[in-house]
Amino acid sequence: MRVRRPVRSAILCSALAFPALAGDPPKASAAALRDEVLATERAFAKTMADRDHSAFVSFLASETVFFSGEKPLRGAVAVAAWWKKYYVGKEAPFSWEPALVEVLDSGTLALSTGPVRDPAGKETGTFTSIWRREGPGTWRIVFDKGNPVCPKEP
């Protein structure tokens, strides 16, 4: 089928005047991206409270690296297997929540960090996670590292 020149010109002009019609999604604001990562981190932490290992695994990027144990765990399969022990039993052995989130200007990577608490609520450490945006509203964790809480000065 041949498109006549005036019709072709009208289609091209519309695509140039309205980028959304050409398939370019609008760029999310830094605040909106931070909110997405905060919500993702909270949902990730909720998997522990809910004792839902399958949900935990759904947040892992396939090439994730977790600094758990003596050496880094590489890949979602290894991380899922190592963390399975934390999802056994009725009570969660710890909890975490984001206190700070920063997102790159490109909107492709984010850092979240915050406290880790024991079942009684005592802060026992901190976590730092790096998240990769894999699509609108979809973030997967690519790096995770926990550290013990630093002792307070006397």
Q: Give every CB contact of residue 108 below 8 A, 6+ residues apart in sequence.
A: 132, 133
Residue 13: inside a domain, yes or no?
no
Residue 7: inside a domain, yes or no?
no
Residue 134: inside a domain, yes or no?
yes
Residue 122: inside a domain, yes or no?
yes
Percentage of the chain modeled with pLDDT above 90: 73
Range of the domain at 116: 27-148
Residue 83: inside a domain, yes or no?
yes
Residue 121: inside a domain, yes or no?
yes
Q: So what's the pLDDT on residue 5?
A: 57
Residue 97: inside a domain, yes or no?
yes
* pLDDT category of residue 18 using cuts at 50, 70 and 90: very low
Q: Residue 21 has what DSSP assignment?
A: G
CATH number at residue 109: 3.10.450.50
Residue 15: inside a domain, yes or no?
no
Q: How many domains does the chain have?
A: 1
* pLDDT category of residue 21 using cuts at 50, 70 and 90: very low
